[in-house]
Amino acid sequence: MSVTVLDRGAAPVLDRLRRPLRDLRISVTDRCNFRCVYCMPKEIFGRDYAFLPREQLLSFEEITRLARVAVANGVEKIRLTGGEPLLRKGIEELIRMLAALRTPSGAAIDLALTTNGSALAHLAPALAEAGLDRVTVSLDSLDDATFQAMNDVRFPVGRVLEGIDAAAAVGLGPVKINMVVKRGYNDHDIVSMARHFKGTGHILRFIEFMDVGSTNGWRLDEVVPSDEVIARIAAELPLEPIAANYPGEVAGRYRYRDGGGEIGVISSVTHAFCGACTRARVSVEGQLFTCLFATRGHDLRALMRGGGTDDELAEALTGVWRSRDDHYSQTRSAHTAIPDASARERRVEMSYIGG
Ligand code: SAM
Ligand code: SF4
Ligand code: SF4
């Protein structure tokens, strides 16, 4: 067996803009029990929406195989997402399989999961026991009326907060909390969210509403720029910027001057961070995407199910990465200048590709 391709050792796999492959996001289901207005609007994802049949999804063995090849080629962090990843039956088993992977230098990988928190109170102990390192929980408001208007399925805030507590109690922290800010929907809650999570050890991150997919009716005037978010909080709770944890960290970091902890801002619209983007994504069906805003993926499932070897899989993965030159957020204005969203090329949905 040739090990030259699969086991590449320390040589980083660089794309055309010299960005290494470091992170892998894997979408484990296209289904979700929420219908967040910015992600899976009910008018599109209604009762008769055709989600993928089970046999189309990558199996846990296929996901692990793909992840193992990616880790042999530079990936150090894996994040499970969706749809809602905790809806995938037996997710703990997948976590156990992924947690056993080692980098070429023998280190464990960093294994995280992004969830809407609805099943976390119940599942957190099993996830931690299986080897998950951390969770990110999405929560857009502390006010039930606002939160329910955003998740659009009347899911109460209290159950998500219970999930956050359960995750922290079993060591899945520091828990990050993602708040997508949409002007006119939940921007009035920015400061109350900051106040609530200040001093808890959880890291609240404000995410600019993005123009992912082609169904969420994105409009620039509904984006609240991160600079405005920081200014609104700092007016009441003094803040100062802090350095990134590592090169390529997507969140801008700030801390409370009184020592109450830190917050983050993810400014994918107003401050593009494509230059440091080291992230590949695998869809539920095993399509490899090199950008959240891609219009097409590369079919790795066909290769695996067609009897491809690990070396062939590694060659496909690294070949796609090497030819990558995506930098959508840096050129967004050129795309969004087209007024009619339907005239934009059809982009893949966030729930399919994984956020
Ligand atoms: N269901 C899980 C959840 O909500 O955490 C995981 C999948 S979700 C697609 C991943 C993240 O993407 C969530 O934090 C969500 O808030 C964020 N997201 C979805 N649509 C977005 C949009 N249009 N703009 C910004 N963030 C978005
Ligand atoms: Fe579901 Fe997450 Fe999308 Fe909300 S953001 S609809 S919880 S996948
Ligand atoms: Fe990465 Fe694409 Fe987002 Fe730029 S737009 S940061 S390349 S995912």
Average pLDDT of span 33-38: 95
Which of 114, 209, 332 for mutating ligand 1's site (highest number of atoms within 8 Å of CB)? 114
Indicate whether residue 353 lines ligand 3 (CB < 6 A). Answer: no
* pLDDT tier for residue 334 given thresholds of 50, 70 and 90: low
Maximum Cα interatomic distance, the chain, rounded to a whole number of Å: 62
Average pLDDT of span 180-207: 97
- Percent of the chain surpassing pLDDT 90: 79
Asked if the model's pLDDT at residue 282 lies above 50, the reply is yes
Identify the DSSP state of 20: B
pLDDT at 292: 87
Burial class (CB in 10 A: 0-12, 13-18, 19+), 106: exposed
Ligand 1 binding pocket, CB closer than 6 Å: 32, 38-39, 81-82, 84, 114-116, 138, 178, 180, 207, 209-210, 212, 216, 350-351, 355
In the chain, the N- to C-terminal Cα span, in Å, equals 36
- Those residues whose C-beta lies under 8 Å from the C-beta of residue 4, and which sit 6 or more positions away, are none
Backbone angles phi, psi at 25, to 5 degrees: -110, 130
pLDDT at 3: 42
Q: Calculate how far, in angstroms, residue 162's C-alpha sits from the geometric centre of ligand 2.
A: 18
* pLDDT tier for residue 340 given thresholds of 50, 70 and 90: very low
Burial class (CB in 10 A: 0-12, 13-18, 19+), 50: exposed
* pLDDT tier for residue 10 given thresholds of 50, 70 and 90: low
In what side-by-side order are the strands of the sheet with 252-256? 239-242, 252-256, 262-266, 203-208, 176-181, 134-138, 110-115, 77-81, 23-27, 279-282, 287-289, 298-299
- Which domains, ranges and CATH numbers included, belong to the chain? 23-353 (3.20.20.70)
Nearest-atom index, ligand 1, CA of 209: 24
Nearest CA owner, ligand 3 atom 6: 274
pLDDT at 1: 40
Q: Calculate how far, in angstroms, residue 39's C-alpha sits from the geometric centre of ligand 1.
A: 7
List beta partners, residue 14: 20
Please write the tens of the pLDDT for every residue from 223-240. Answer: 999 999 999 999 999 999
Average pLDDT of span 118-134: 98
pLDDT at 337: 44
Asked if the model's pLDDT at residue 2 lies above 50, the reply is no
pLDDT at 330: 77
Q: Calculate how far, in angstroms, residue 83's C-alpha sits from the geometric centre of ligand 1.
A: 9
Average pLDDT of span 96-103: 98
Indicate whether residue 45 lines ligand 3 (CB < 6 A). Answer: no
Please write the tens of the pLDDT for every residue from 230-272. Answer: 999 999 999 999 988 876 677 899 999 999 999 999 998 888 7
Asked if the model's pLDDT at residue 5 lies above 50, the reply is no
Asked if the model's pLDDT at residue 345 lies above 60, the reply is no
Q: Report the alpha-carbon distance of residue 86 to residue 269 in Å, rounded.
A: 28
pLDDT at 333: 57
* pLDDT tier for residue 351 given thresholds of 50, 70 and 90: confident
Asked if the model's pLDDT at residue 9 lies above 80, the reply is no
Average pLDDT of span 193-201: 98
Indicate whether residue 207 lines ligand 2 (CB < 6 A). Answer: no
Please write the tens of the pLDDT for every residue from 284-333. Answer: 999 999 998 888 899 999 999 999 999 999 999 999 999 999 988 877 65
Q: Calculate how far, in angstroms, residue 22's C-alpha sits from the geometric centre of ligand 1.
A: 21
* pLDDT tier for residue 164 given thresholds of 50, 70 and 90: very high
Q: Kindly list the distances between the CA atom of residue 205 and the CA atoms of 139, 181, 216, 264, in Å, as whole numbers in the listed order.
A: 10, 10, 21, 4
Please write the tens of the pLDDT for every residue from 206-215. Answer: 999 988 767 7
Asked if the model's pLDDT at residue 335 lies above 70, the reply is no
Asked if the model's pLDDT at residue 344 lies above 90, the reply is no
